[in-house]
Structure 1
Amino acid sequence: MFTIEHDFDATIITLIDELPKDSPVGARPLNEDVVIQSFDDRVIVEQFDPDTGELSQIVMTIEQLDELRAALNLPEGNYRLERR
């Protein structure tokens, strides 16, 4: 499950971990929600770490996000995206 919200300067996507309806109770531990905040110049990915009690955060440029998106669909190797 996920939600999408539009704020003044960002789009916020929250990915919610949930078990499939036919899973037995306690089949696997659920992970904390992943929150993705998309701005004009950067993307912030956050997830609460219950072991440390802290919020883990990754900040990526839009270019890095584009490269990640491309990398998810490519085989092992070295690549460079051409920018226009």
Structure 2
Amino acid sequence: MFTIEHEFDATIVTLVDEGEAVLQEDVVVAAFEECVTVSQADPRSGEPVTVTLSMQQVRDLAAAMNLPEGAYRLR
């Protein structure tokens, strides 16, 4: 399950882990004009851990989802 919210300066997508297996904490993806952040609570400390991706890194990640193993550079 996931939710999408449109804020003033960002689009927020929350991914909720569902199922019978061991569940992970929710993942929150916030897309801003200049970057994308991915946050998840650390299950040991309860504190959020955030990774910030540049827009180029996001494009590279999207392209990588459909490519075989290897090293690539997008032009």
TM-score range relative to shorter protein = over 0.9
Q: How many residues align?
A: 75
Q: Taking structure 1 as the reference length, what is the TM-score of the superposition?
A: 0.85
Give RMSD over aligned pairs. Answer: 0.9
The superposition leaves residues 17-74 of structure 1 with CA deviations (integer Å, 9 ceiling, x where unpaired) of: 011xxxxxxx421111000000001000000011122211100001100000111110
Alignment of 1:1-84 (within 5 A): 1-19=1-19, 27-82=20-75
Distance in 2 between residues matched to 1:41 and 1:8, nearest whole Å: 14
- SS of the aligned residue for 1:64 comes to helix
Runs of 4+ in 1 over 6 A off after TM superposition: none
- SS of the aligned residue for 2:62 comes to helix
Aligned residue identity for 1:12:
I
**Unpaired stretches in structure 2, ≥5 consecutive residues:** none
- Bigger Rg, which one: 1
The superposition leaves residues 2-28 of structure 1 with CA deviations (integer Å, 9 ceiling, x where unpaired) of: 000000000000000011xxxxxxx42
Q: Taking structure 2 as the reference length, what is the TM-score of the superposition?
A: 0.94
Report % sequence identity: 53
